[in-house]
Amino acid sequence: MTTRVPVVEKILSANDRMAARNRETLDRAGLYAINIMASPGAGKTSLILKTLESLNGRLRLGVVEGDLASSIDADRAAAAGLPAVQINTGGDCHLDAAMLADALIALPLAELDLVLVENVGNLICPANFQIGTHLNVLIASIPEGDDKPYKYPGMYRGVQALIVNKIDLLPHVPFDLEYFKRGVEVLNPGVITFLLSCKTGEGVNAWAEWLVRQVKDKKE
């Protein structure tokens, strides 16, 4: 009887090798790259656009947009003046390293400081596939509920930064922020967390300033 485990391990191993090559490509270009993950509707594209606005030209951004289908998000990014590449996964619930490798070829890497990769909206699969970025960021949003760290521990463990979006809805949605934070702390102690609202702009500047420091530290 053929077992599935070695096949899965082989796929992940090949993906990890490609992810390492992506990191080398980014490092040679002097670029910092961030993998942005979240469930559908949490605000990935909205965060990218608000980040661009808040940075006010201090960093040159490029965007890779991952979706099952359509180019809606990439079109929004391009309309805002960002070099943008669309990846349609054709049904896959995550980006993998090979997909990002193809996208990087299409970006003007020499003209950029930071690449923001919007992964497919999903709280399971993206956690298992490294793509070669320097940082994994997860967006949680208030309407999703305060139990997500408890339901999707793998996603919350594997990130270096956490964004809680749509905090303007806290007065209107039954979301226990302390309960949420306790769940996160158990899985990822001390993870840097930003509370913000892409709608009102509250907290976005703190996130943008932190990004500037990350890119500056990488270049130094």
Do 109 and 85 contact (CB within 8 A), yes or no?
no
Domain ranges of the chain: 5-219
Q: What pLDDT shows up at residue 9?
A: 56
Annotation: CATH topology of 5-219: Rossmann fold (3.40.50)
The confidence score (pLDDT) of residue 165 equals: 98
Report the percentage of the chain scoring pLDDT > 90.
78
> What local confidence, expressed as pLDDT, does residue 1 receive?
44
- Write out pLDDT tens, residues 46-81: 999 999 999 988 999 999 999 877 777 788 888 888
Closest CA to 123 of 98, 150, 101: 150
- Residue numbers of the chain with a pLDDT score lower than 70: 1-12
- Please state the pTM of the whole predicted model: 0.90
pLDDT for 6: 58
Inter-residue contact 116 to 34 (CB < 8 Å): yes
Give the distance from CA 18 to its chain's centroid. 18
Quote the pLDDT of residue 76: 87
Q: Transcribe 164-189 into DSSP letters.
A: EE-GGGTTTS---HHHHHHHHHHHST
Q: Could you give the CA distance from residue 190 to residue 158 in angstroms, rounded to a whole number? A: 13
Residues forming a β-bridge with 66 = 87
